[in-house]
Amino acid sequence: MSKQKEELEHRLKLRNIKHSDFRDIREIMVSAYKTQGMTWTKEEFKNQLNAFPEGQICLEDNGKVVAVALSLIVDYSKYGDNHTYDQITGYGKFDTHDEEGDTLYGTDVFVDKEYRGLRLGRRLYDARKELCENLNLRSIIAGGRIPGYNKYADQMSPRKYIELVKNKEIFDPVLSFQLANEFHVRKVITKYLPEDTDSRAYATLLEWINIYYEKEEKLIGNKKTIVRLGLVQWKMRRFTDVDDLMQQVEFFVDTVSDYKSDFCLFPEFFNAPLLAEFNKMDASEAIRNLAEYTEEIVIRMRDLALSYNVNIIAGSMPEYDGKKLRNVSYLCRRDGTMDKQYKLHITPDEQSYWGLQGGNGIRVFDTDAGKVGILICYDIEFPELSRILAEKEMDILFVPFWTDTKNAYLRVSTCAKSRAIENECYVAITGSVGNLPRVENMDIQHSQAAIYSPSDFSFPHDAIIAEASLNTETTIVADVDLDLLTKLRKAGSVRNLAQRRLDLYSIQWKNKR
């Protein structure tokens, strides 16, 4: 390789700044800023490195510093939003640096003019974000210059100028870059840098939120980020009594708990085989008699959740209070607590045969493995319900279902996959297989249990994390990463929740009971 070609090659390296870098950095600052008052002295530079060496970052090319980002940690509550640059940096001495602070404050970013256009500033911003996350700081805050404002100062206010930059009607060399790097403007600051004539001494107060920030670290009991789901694809078979049924239930709970699953999901009406006992009755009378077993089954499933250390979504079972027959799913947590979710939408068949009625409420349930929602079968075909749950920060949606034919199954599965994409969450579905001869309205079953995800680079390309064998009694166990949802909602290729046009439409829950 010729010497000339070697000199043309870039060898970029990201590293922390050293004291010996001052000459290179001073040279870049002088070319970047018109006034000497906006450049650091050697003494100030030394103080900054001594105060917080990890926060002073640079990119070098073939041994020469070509881009720089400087920062410090502050307790932001001590300064508030109306600070000046000198106040928060201690007049360049960085004696305001506070190791116990909650905010990474960006003081400077500048790039050698010969290297502009190579997106080195973006690399430095990404390094700052990584530092903020690794130090578990709440956010990055910076006062941003708006050097392009000088051309428009006689025509508009700083607020109007910022609005036009946001809408890409005006390009500002600093603000446009910061907005493109996921910073948002909190407010306009006056007299932030009096010597900054290009900005007319105005500045934007910018913030980037660390979505991984944990206010309080715990040695045990931290919120899980990797959650293991166990789904039971249940075979309809004759059971002689509740004990016989629960023996099979315990077998599957034991199976998925052996894999350290956090959840075990059963299908809708998994206890339907007990209907055989009432087969001589009218269908509506038989389902009401089946409801008499629900309380006992729920208590026994709660005990299984405790003894096998797994949260159980107990599919669904009929509940009858003497006036209303409803379809209910129980969440049996492994700490011994329970909650329930009623099916809201009743199919024409369920209404005609059994006289089922829909519930009147919906909620997100807190668990030790994330926020979860439950929608029973037909309910997944109504997108408003999932969106309401998503607005309550649901991570995982469980859908126990019962479908008799392939087209019925495809309605449920296709809608479930859509809900995962629309609401940036995981959706787990499972149903029953096999058949129940001589049990009216429970003739055949069609199921392929699955776990669906959003569709973006961090997830499977087909948005399917796991899928069971079709119409076979089995289980599937798979992990879902809740941190990927957090990342998606903040920085995904598309952001379905964040980019809704709430100025045009919204979904409201009318029932306040």
Model confidence pLDDT, tens digit, residues 443-471: 788 999 999 999 998 899 999 999 999 99
**Is 169 a domain residue?**
yes
**Is 6 a domain residue?**
no
Q: What is the pLDDT of residue 2?
A: 47
Q: What percent of the chain has pLDDT over 90?
A: 67
- Give the CATH number for residue 131: 3.40.630.30
Q: What is the pLDDT of residue 7?
A: 52
Statement to judge: residues 296 and 376 lie in one domain: yes
**Is 220 a domain residue?**
no
Separation of alpha carbons 214 and 163, rounded Å: 32
**Cα R_g (the chain), whole angstroms:** 30
Backbone angles phi, psi at 478, to 5 degrees: -155, 155
Separation of alpha carbons 161 and 467, rounded Å: 52
Q: What is the pLDDT of residue 6?
A: 47
Query: For residue 82, what are the contacts with CB-CB under 8 A and spacing of at least 6?
Result: 189
**Is 510 a domain residue?**
no
Query: Binning pLDDT at 50, 70 and 90, where does residue 217 land?
Result: low
Query: Binning pLDDT at 50, 70 and 90, where does residue 441 land?
Result: low
Distances (CA, A) of 352 to 284, 346, 347: 9, 10, 9
> What pTM, to 2 d.p., does this model score?
0.74
Separation of alpha carbons 374 and 397, rounded Å: 6
Residue-wise pLDDT for 232-260, tens only, equals: 999 988 888 999 999 999 999 999 999 99
Question: Helices (DSSP H) in 259-293: which residue ranges?
Answer: 283-290
Q: What percent of the chain has pLDDT over 70?
A: 94
Separation of alpha carbons 76 and 205, rounded Å: 13
Domain span including residue 306:
226-491
Partnered with residue 331 across adjacent β-strands are 313, 339
Q: Decide: helix, strand or coil at residue 273.
A: helix
Question: Helices (DSSP H) in 17-157: which residue ranges?
Answer: 22-32, 42-51, 85-89, 120-134
Q: What is the pLDDT of residue 36?
A: 46
| 30 has pLDDT over 50 | yes
User: Which has more confidence, 218 or 502?
Assistant: 502
Average confidence score pLDDT of the chain: 90
Question: Helices (DSSP H) in 187-293: which residue ranges?
Answer: 242-258, 283-290
Statement to judge: residues 286 and 432 lie in one domain: yes
Query: Binning pLDDT at 50, 70 and 90, where does residue 318 land?
Result: very high
Statement to judge: residues 158 and 268 lie in one domain: no
Q: Hey, what amino acid is at 257?
A: S
Residue-wise pLDDT for 387-402, tens only, equals: 999 999 999 999 999 9
Distances (CA, A) of 79 to 19, 76, 86: 29, 6, 11
**Is 507 a domain residue?**
no
Residue-wise pLDDT for 2-23, tens only, equals: 444 445 577 889 999 999 999 9
Separation of alpha carbons 342 and 294, rounded Å: 14
> Quick one: CA dihedral 92, 96, 100, 102, positive or negative?
negative
| 109 has pLDDT over 70 | yes
Burial class (CB in 10 A: 0-12, 13-18, 19+), 245: buried
Q: What is the pLDDT of residue 442?
A: 65
> Quick one: CA dihedral 286, 288, 293, 299, positive or negative?
positive
Q: What is the pLDDT of residue 486?
A: 86
Statement to judge: residues 348 and 481 lie in one domain: yes
Residue-wise pLDDT for 488-508, tens only, equals: 888 888 989 888 999 899 998
- Give the CATH number for residue 382: 3.60.110.10
**Is 1 a domain residue?**
no
Statement to judge: residues 185 and 59 lie in one domain: yes
Statement to judge: residues 411 and 294 lie in one domain: yes
Contact of 431 with 406, CB cutoff 8 Å: no
Question: How many domains are there within the chain?
Answer: 2
Contact of 140 with 116, CB cutoff 8 Å: no
Separation of alpha carbons 249 and 352, rounded Å: 30
Question: Would you name the residues annotated as active-site residues?
Answer: 268, 343, 377
Q: What is the pLDDT of residue 240?
A: 87
Statement to judge: residues 301 and 435 lie in one domain: yes
Domain boundary among 209, 236, 254: 209
Backbone angles phi, psi at 287, to 5 degrees: -65, -30
Residue-wise pLDDT for 39-66, tens only, equals: 778 888 898 999 999 999 999 998 999 9
Query: Binning pLDDT at 50, 70 and 90, where does residue 221 land?
Result: low
**Is 219 a domain residue?**
no
Residue-wise pLDDT for 76-95, tens only, equals: 988 888 898 999 998 888 98
